[in-house]
Amino acid sequence: MNAIILNPQVFFKYKSQIGIMLYTEDKSKELNFFTGHKHLVLERNQVEEPSIEEIEDAILSDDHLRELAEDHNLVEIHHDDEPEEYMQYYSSFN
């Protein structure tokens, strides 16, 4: 499985946890930080921008964060075995 991050600027890191900023105005001093498990209201100076690699690792290892990111069209998830599964599905009709 691999992840394509479509909107990396909404991902933030708080302490060691990667989360998504949602429902926050651009000029707000606070942001709504969602991890898939929790919702925190944090000041902007409490968070930092994670690297793309950190975002990808978090998305691939945390089902809840991945589902939240997919629901908001922030990532695309591609499964490595998709062509094989399709061929099995296709061949079942022949």
Encode the chain (94 residues) as per-residue pLDDT tens digits: 788 999 999 999 999 999 999 999 989 999 999 999 999 999 999 999 999 999 999 999 999 999 999 999 999 988 766 566 666 766 777 6
Which residue carries 């479509």 as its tokens? 6
Rounded to two decimals, the pTM is 0.81
CA distance 65 to 1: 15
Q: Which domain holds residue 51?
A: 2-91
Number of domains forming the structure of the chain = 1
Q: Which two tokens stand for residue 17?
A: 């946890």
Confidence at residue 89, expressed as pLDDT on a 0 to 100 scale: 65
Confidence at residue 40, expressed as pLDDT on a 0 to 100 scale: 97
CA distance 80 to 43: 38
